[in-house]
Amino acid sequence: MKDTDVMMNQAAVVLKLLGDKTRLTMLKILDVHDCCVCEFVEVFTMSQPSISQHLRKLKDVGLIQEERKGQWIFYSMNKNSVHYTLIRPLLEQLPNQSYKIKELERSGKRILCC
């Protein structure tokens, strides 16, 4: 298969991941804030396994990375990912989602660890 086909395939795979409201919002948030799973469970009204599965998909393509901090596993944007260049201009055009994190802080549910 041609090089360019491989690139088109990879772009399609990444864009399919962004084509889900939950994951898209996660990425917009992670572009600014590191977050752990239980925070996302609060932000999205969704079960913990569902959140875990979304995060796994993003991790599997290398868009995000995880780091354990004590009890929690924090996810962050992998800005060195080969795909970050592709999605960055996209994320820039999306409305800021930091208010969701501020709401967490207000309700005392933001995890400030270590």
Amino acid in position 59: K
Q: Does 46 bind DNA (CB under 7 A)?
A: yes
Distance CA 12, CA 19 (A): 10
Q: Does 82 bind a second copy (CB under 8 A)?
A: no
Chain centre distance of CA 45: 16
On whether the CB atoms of residues 28 and 91 are closer than 8 A, the answer is yes
Q: Does 50 bind DNA (CB under 7 A)?
A: yes
Sheet holding 64-69, edge to edge: 35-36, 72-77, 64-69
Instruction: Write the interaction track for DNA spanning residues 1-20; mark x where CB under 7 A is met and - where it is not.
Output: ---------------x--xx
CB nearer DNA, residue 53 or residue 96: 53
CB nearer DNA, residue 52 or residue 98: 52
Q: Does 79 bind a second copy (CB under 8 A)?
A: no
Amino acid in position 91: L
- Contact segment (CB under 7 A) with DNA among 3-11, 50-58, 88-96, 100-108 equals 50-58
Q: Is the dihedral of CA 88, 89, 91, 95 positive or negative?
A: positive
Among the listed residues 70, 71, 89, 107, the single contact to a second copy using CB under 8 A: 89
